[in-house]
Amino acid sequence: MLICVTNRKLCQEDFLDRIYKLAQARPYAVMLREKDLDLLEYEQLAWQVKEICDSFEVLLIIHQNSAVAEKLKLTHLHLSMPAFRSYKKGESNLLVGVSVHSVAEAEEAQALGAAYVVAGHIYTTDCKKGIPPKGLSFLRQVCQVVSISVFAIGGVARNNVKDILKSGAKGFCVMSEAMTCNDPAMLVQEFAKDKLHARQLLF
């Protein structure tokens, strides 16, 4: 299953137009990342993205900003591992996913109540220049030690998703290509060919 991760700075077109085209093709979810925005700016953008995602029944995952997720009455939040450690889960009904970069972090995230983990980076990616990828062996280890859904991130492309799935992951996250490809709908459809596009929720 495909989670499209946003980065509006990569877009060569209007960002909301890009979101519309992606959502129209119905990926599993859109994760609104946009780490450079302050809380108010992020909230304003989130309302706009929510309207688009809702119109196509696509899950919207808020990144880092729990207050925005709650204000918009959304169900899903994604946090870094440090943020998740200090997150007071008992005070919210949000389903929280966590980015992990080691097997130990994956185990810790599950123990702390994560709904899913995003493990990476798996392949070489421009987003992590100079940092060696962790590879499929790392992904397999994460999938083996947790029972919650695992999504791969980092250098994910249509020619390597089968290896990702064989490693035990339930899906993958794509940012750069989702933001820059010429045909967003075709991108989503191509990833969906690997029998990942079922509409049931994994988390």
Provide the 3-class DSSP secondary structure of residue 135.
Answer: helix
Query: Residue 134 phi/psi, 5° resolution?
Result: -85, -20
**The pLDDT of residue 201:** 62
Domains of the chain: 2-192 (3.20.20.70)
Which pLDDT band, with edges at 50, 70 and 90, does 198 fall under? very low
Per residue in 54-75, pLDDT tens? 999 999 999 999 999 999 999 9
E strands, 93-164, are 95-100, 116-120, 149-153
Position 199 pLDDT exceeds 60:
no
Per residue in 118-167, pLDDT tens? 999 999 987 777 789 999 999 999 999 999 999 999 999 989 999 999 99
Position 197 pLDDT exceeds 50:
no
**The pLDDT of residue 58:** 97
Contacts of 35 (CB under 8 A, 6+ apart): 63, 64
Which pLDDT band, with edges at 50, 70 and 90, does 33 fall under? very high
**Residue 119 is inside which H or E element, if any?**
strand 116-120
Rounded CA-CA distance 85/107 in Å is 13
Q: 103-111 vs 135-145: helix axis angle to the nearest 10? A: 30
Are residues 122 and 133 in contact, defined by beta-carbon separation less than 8 angstroms? yes
Position 194 pLDDT exceeds 60:
no
